[in-house]
Amino acid sequence: MKNTYLKVEMLLRPGWILGVAQLGVLLMVPVLGYASPISGNLVLTGNGTQETGLSLLNIDQDYLGTASGNPPIGSIPADGGDDDGKFNIGNSSTGSFAPLIGVLATVHDLNFSADPVGSTTGSGLPLTNFVTFAGSSLTLTLTELLPGAFSSASCGGAPAQGQTCTPAGSPYNLSNIAGGEATLSFSFFGTASDGIPADTTNFSGSFSDTFSGTNLQAIATALENNQTIVSGLTGSVTATTPEPASISMMLIGGMLIAGFVIYRRRNAVSIS
């Protein structure tokens, strides 16, 4: 009598093993989606005679008034409406931003009522098209305007080198530096996108300026008196690549799937 061989696949706890394989696939998906994540450093420099108006209510990137005095005080209030200003892309820009060198960037105004300082929620947040680029699908969306990092304690008193100050409730970081100069800066977070969801990454950025022949106390006093400081801001943005943990998840997912395949093969037996 001939022996009839039947190959029967026997799996222990098939539901559990299948679940492990599915988990492996899910772990791999987020990383496989990052085909070309946006990354690099963006440098924004002044465009012609355009200036920015800074107040405790608004940041006006296309300030239309004139300035006088030291620090430079604007002739009209900063407008935080639905306007924007133009900036050049600096030659030191890198990564995804390097191809944009030579084109203009458009930076949207900020209104602290719609885009509240230190919050991720507001009628204007997230602020899509916070920064756009001529002829490019790349855009920067603002998700948070960060509060100033310093105390308001040194905003008054006698000026001295090394002092720092943040006017209460503002995004501004003021510092007295060497040479009778003062700096002003503000920072923000957001996401960079080129229309492909898998390419979207987070970014951090800041704008800053240095004022000669003045001090943070004079700047803070002007702001607190509801005046507008007129500035020729420069900006920088750093877009970050996916976290290394994402790569680890892909490796773990691959090992789980490989283990599932090996398990199936080893548990396939022949019965005569």
Residue 194 in domain? yes
pTM of the predicted protein model: 0.79
| 213 torsion bin: left (phi>0), alpha (psi -120 to 50), beta (else) | left
Above 70 in pLDDT, residue 91?
Answer: yes
Domain range for 218 is 40-241
16 and 85 in a common domain: no
* pLDDT tens-digit map of 161-171: 999 999 999 99
Residue 1 in domain? no
229 and 111 in a common domain: yes
202 and 231 in a common domain: yes
216 and 88 in a common domain: yes
* pLDDT tens-digit map of 213-263: 999 999 999 999 999 999 999 999 999 976 554 545 544 555 555 554 444
* pLDDT value for 13: 53
- What is the pLDDT of the chain when averaged over all its residues? 85
What percentage of residues in the chain have a pLDDT greater than 70? 76
Residue 203 in domain? yes
* pLDDT tens-digit map of 181-221: 999 999 999 999 999 999 999 999 999 999 999 999 999 99
28 and 108 in a common domain: no
Q: Please state the domain count of the chain.
A: 2
Split at pLDDT 50, 70, 90, the class of 148 is: very high
215 and 91 in a common domain: yes
Average pLDDT on 64-92 reads 96
Q: What is the 3-state secondary structure (H, E, C) of the chain?
A: CCCCCEEEECCCCHHHHHHHHHHHHHHHHHHHCCCCCCCEEEEEECCCCCCEEECCCEEECCCCCCEECCCCEECCCCCCCCCEEEEEECCCCCHHHHHHCCCEEEEECEECCCCCECCCCCCCCCEEEEEEECCCCCEEEEEEECCCCCCCHHHCCCCCCCCEECCCCCCCEEEEECCCEEEEEEEEEEEEECCCHHHCEEEEEEEEEEEECCCHHHHHHHHHCCCCEEECCEEEEEECCCCHHHHHHHHHHHHHHHHHHHHHHHCEEEEC
198 and 129 in a common domain: yes
